[in-house]
Each structure stands twice: as C-alpha cells, then as structure tokens.
Chains A and B, each alone.
Chain A
Amino acid sequence: MNGVHDMGGMDGFGKVEVEANEPTFHEKWEGRVMAMVRAMGANAGLNIDMQRFSRESLPPAVYLASSYYRKWFLGLVSTLVDRKLVGTDEIEAGHSLHQNAPLPKGKFGLADVQRIQTRGSFQRDVASQPVFRIGDKVRARNINPTTHTRLPRYVRGHVGTVERINGSHVFPDSYAHGGGENPQWLYTVVFTACELWGEEAPDPTAKISVDAFEPYLETA
C-alpha cells in the first residue's frame, strides 16, 4: 500500500538524532510490547508480513506521531481484535470477558522462548528457474497495490541492474493476506542515484539497492 511507512526519499523529517548510550527499552512497557508481539506472532500464527501490514495500516497521522513500540502495540491490538482473539471491551476492562478459541500453537510458555530466538528461513525451493540473471537490466514495475508489498515507491518505474540472486523466498504480498507462502525468486537490484533522483541528486555517485521479488520486475 502507498502508505506513510514507505518513507524512502521523503523530505522534511529533519536531521537524524542519535541518542548517546541508548537503553534497549526506554520504558518497561516497550519491552512487554516487543515480547507480546513475538509471542503472539509465534503461537497465534501472525506472520511477520501480517504484523507489518497491521502497522502500515495505522492512520497516517497516528503512524507519524507514534513511537516505534506504540505502533507495535496499536498494530498488535488491531490484529488481535480483527482475528477475534481479543475484544476491544476486554482491553478497556483490563480483563478477559469472553471465551475465545485457543491459539493454533497453544499457550506461549517458557519452552517456546528458545525457538523464537532464531530467525526462521524464508527460502523455499521452487520448480521454476529465475527469469533474470546477474547483470540484467530490469525495471521495477509500476505497481500500486492497496495491500502489503515490499517494493518501495521510490524505485517503481526505474531501471536497475540485477546484482545478486538470493534464492526463492516467501512472497510478502501473498503471505500478509492469507495467500500462503507463494515463494518467488528474490534479487538484489542496484540503481544509480541519478536514475532514482535525477541529475541533481544530492549524491550523484551513490548506488542504492533493494531486494526485489520477481513479480516486482520486468525486463528493461
């Protein structure tokens, strides 16, 4: 979706502010949110792209005004409510008021912690061969789905070069929306700064790459 989360190339956000000796969490609740997102993600079958889409779908003004973990909290609540795992009245009350179905993988307990410390593999074998080869010129397609996608706006319509083939991976555009893993070939595509930002690019010699799934690309 063309949301405010897709920030590459936007102006006006100011300088990068670095905090010296930043703590892992600024407040205790941030850690609880992170842990609940991980735990519910693992045992309620909320995959990473569903979670991303829940945050991208926050109203733009809310997204921009919220701290990182506030976005995670709001995204988690909306996902749990949508799936009828939790009611808004229950969050209001601070207690469980209804009987809900158990989680697909059951209660998230101590024995599950180790399992989520390792990122899973997103590589899936497919029968097809990659359409593009290293060195091919490709154009990022001008797609504008209102659903989840990982092709940022700033590369759409632009021509780059295939630099790496990263295997065939779970396709976020399907995975976020119950369409299954639908694995697709994944490429690192590199663009020149002038191709993306014009001859007046602030740093004309820079090169910028995205990792793009095959359905995002066409022969240039």
Chain B
Amino acid sequence: MQLRVRALETVLTEKGYVDPAALDAIVETYETKIGPRNGARVVARAWTDPAFKAALLKDASEAIRTMGHENRVGDHLIAVENTPARHNMVVCTLCSCYPWEMLGLPPVWYKAAPYRSRAVKDPRGVLADFGMTLPKDTEIRVWDSTAETRFLVLPMRPAGTEGWSEERLAEIVTRDSMIGTGLPKAAS
C-alpha cells in the first residue's frame, strides 16, 4: 500500500492539486492536537459546573464553543447523559461517524464489522466484549449516527472523586467512556 499511496500523492502533487506540506499539517494535527483529551475536558467541566452541564445537554456545540477549544467544534453535537437508569452507547452502522473534534480519529474497532453489526442488536453482548457488565435494570440506549449529528456520552462521575479539580477529573475520563463502551477510571 505504501507504494500505491505514494504514487497517488506524487500524481496529485505534480498536478498542482495538493501541497505535501499541507498534508503533513493535517496528519500532524490528528496525531498531536485532536484527541480524547478534548472530550475529557468537557466531561470534567460538566461534572463540576452544573450550569455548564445544563447548557451542554441543551446544545453541546454551543456550550463547548464557550470553552474556547483550539479546534472549534462543529455544529450538531449532542451530549447524552448516563444515569443509573440509562446507559448510552454510540455507533455508526453505515460507516464511521464519530465526534472527531472531541475524541480524535476513531479506533479501529469502532470502524470494524464486529462493533458496527452487533451494537444495535446485542449491545449488552458488545459491552461484555469490553469487559463491562451493567445492572439488569439499566436500560441501554444505542445511538446510531446515521446523519451529521454527532454524539458524546457524558459518563457518570465515579464515587470517591468529591472535591477533585477539573484537571484531575479529566485524567480519569477515558475515550471509551465517552463512546459508551467503557467507564471512567475508578478513583484511586
């Protein structure tokens, strides 16, 4: 693949369609600047600031804009809140739609057939693949990202984190906890 991809890049460059330096900049952005830390900051803020949490659940795109992220979040972001009664998880059965600005590029499993096929039919079985077992009476809600709306799960704040700073809380918010296939790290 390396050779075929290089061939295409050479053709596009020679035709004056792309500047390779601009491609470098795109790659670098996703390798170093945009990742789950963006989403983790949002979750930590929601855990510590009730007004922000209310705004986030009302209109996530608008609420996050007020935080001044380096990369502005696009429109149509929807935050969905986990509670003891309801657990949310996000999938894109048709391709790989994912909130890039909040979580970075999606992991391979999110884009692969096992997750895309089973998340909507057997979500509890999928969560078991992640080593996650939810109480029987917790309703699972699966959000299939079939349009340009994007979903960010707001996980429950773990017990034992009372009084923690936003920065410290952000450290325990995992990528998977914002997709709904994991939980935040336990307080230690």
Query: Which residues of A are found within 8 Å of B147, using beta-carbon distances?
Result: 122, 150, 166, 169, 172, 186, 211-213
- In the complex, what residue of chain B is closest to A16 when comparing beta carbons? B129
Give the residues from 91 to 123 in chain B that come closer than 8 angstroms, CB to CB, to chain A.
Answer: 91, 93-96, 100-101, 104-105, 107-109, 111-123
B37 at the A interface (CB under 8 A): no
A143 at the B interface (CB under 8 A): no
Interface string of B1-32 (1 = CB under 8 A from A): 11111111111101111110111111101110
Query: Which residues of A are found within 8 Å of B148, using beta-carbon distances?
Result: 48, 119, 122, 169-170
Give the residues from 190 to 211 in chain A that come closer than 8 angstroms, CB to CB, to chain B.
Answer: 190, 193, 196-197, 201-203, 205-211
Q: A152 near B93 (CB under 8 angstroms)?
A: yes
- In the complex, what residue of chain B is closest to A203 when comparing beta carbons? B124
Query: Which residues of A are found within 8 Å of B111, using beta-carbon distances?
Result: 68
B183 at the A interface (CB under 8 A): no
Q: B18 near A10 (CB under 8 angstroms)?
A: no
A141 at the B interface (CB under 8 A): no
Apart from A36-B9, A108-B22, A207-B142, what are 10 other A-B pairs with CB-CB below 8 Å? A8-B94, A22-B107, A25-B31, A29-B1, A31-B30, A43-B18, A109-B22, A117-B72, A120-B75, A203-B122
Knowing A15-B129, A16-B115, A40-B17 touch, does A205 contact B140 (C-beta < 8 A)? Answer: yes
Query: Which residues of A are found within 8 Å of B116, using beta-carbon distances?
Result: 7-8
Q: B95 near A55 (CB under 8 angstroms)?
A: yes
- In the complex, what residue of chain A is closest to B19 when comparing beta carbons? A109
Query: Which residues of B are found within 8 Å of A123, using beta-carbon distances?
Result: 75-76
B156 at the A interface (CB under 8 A): no
- In the complex, A16→B2 CA distance in Å? 27
B146 at the A interface (CB under 8 A): yes
B residues whose Cβ falls under 8 Å from a Cβ of A? 1-12, 14-19, 21-27, 29-31, 34-35, 71-76, 78, 91, 93-96, 100-101, 104-105, 107-109, 111-126, 129-130, 139-149
A-B CB proximity, top 5 nearest = A119-B74, A8-B93, A211-B147, A94-B7, A96-B14
Query: Which residues of A are found within 8 Å of B107, using beta-carbon distances?
Result: 18-19, 22
Q: A207 near B100 (CB under 8 angstroms)?
A: no
- In the complex, A188→B76 CA distance in Å? 12
Q: B75 near A9 (CB under 8 angstroms)?
A: no
- In the complex, what residue of chain B is closest to A66 when comparing beta carbons? B1
Interface string of A35-59 (1 = CB under 8 A from B): 1101110011000100010011000
Q: Which of A38, A108, A172, A212 contacts B17 (CB 8 A)?
A: A108
Q: Which of B15, B117, B124, B125 contacts A8 (CB 8 A)?
A: B117
- In the complex, A55→B95 CA distance in Å? 9
Q: B11 near A91 (CB under 8 angstroms)?
A: yes
Provide a sorted-by-A list of 26 A–B residue pairs whose CB atoms are within 8 angstroms: A7-B117, A10-B113, A15-B114, A16-B109, A16-B126, A24-B30, A25-B27, A27-B1, A29-B1, A29-B2, A31-B30, A32-B27, A34-B30, A35-B24, A35-B27, A52-B94, A108-B18, A113-B25, A118-B74, A122-B148, A154-B120, A202-B121, A202-B125, A206-B142, A210-B144, A210-B146
Query: Which residues of B are found within 8 Å of A33, using beta-carbon distances?
Result: 5
B111: min CB distance to chain A, Å: 5
Q: B31 near A150 (CB under 8 angstroms)?
A: no
Q: Which of B4, B35, B141 contacts A209 (CB 8 A)?
A: B141
Knowing A39-B26, A77-B8, A108-B17 touch, does A17 contact B117 (C-beta < 8 A)? Answer: no
